[in-house]
């Protein structure tokens, strides 16, 4: 009888497309921390509404482009 111990394996899944992240498709270590309060019906903060998200290289590029568009002011149309 032989006993083999297999070390635990941590699997990270992309929160964008759902693929398993590997060294090949997650070389940029894409992670986004979003902080925003959840509000009750009166507008009072009641809980953490953000989260921490992991992304593959493809999805982190999409997230970065989207965030940069918002920062550049491309979503200011809603202010009218």
- Using rule CB under 5 A, residue 14 touches Zn ion: yes
Residues in contact with Zn ion, counted by CB under 5 A, come to a total of 5
Binding region for Zn ion (CB under 5 A) out of 3-11, 38-46, 52-60, 63-71: 52-60
CA distance 36 to 47: 9
32 burial via Cβ count (<10 Å: 0-12, 13-18, 19+)? middle
User: Hey, is 34 helix, strand or coil?
Assistant: strand
Span interacting with Zn ion, options 1-9, 39-47, 51-59, 69-77, rule CB under 5 A: 51-59
Residues that bind Zn ion (CB under 5 A): 14, 16-17, 56, 59
């Amino acid at each position: 009888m032989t006993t083999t111990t297999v070390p635990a394996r941590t699997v990270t899944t992309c929160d964008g497309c759902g693929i398993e992240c590997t060294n090949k498709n997650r070389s940029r270590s894409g992670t986004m921390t979003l902080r925003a309060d959840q509000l009750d019906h009166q507008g009072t903060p009641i809980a953490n509404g953000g989260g921490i998200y992991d992304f593959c290289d493809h999805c982190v590029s999409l997230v970065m482009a989207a965030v940069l568009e918002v920062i550049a002011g491309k979503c200011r149309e809603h202010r009218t």
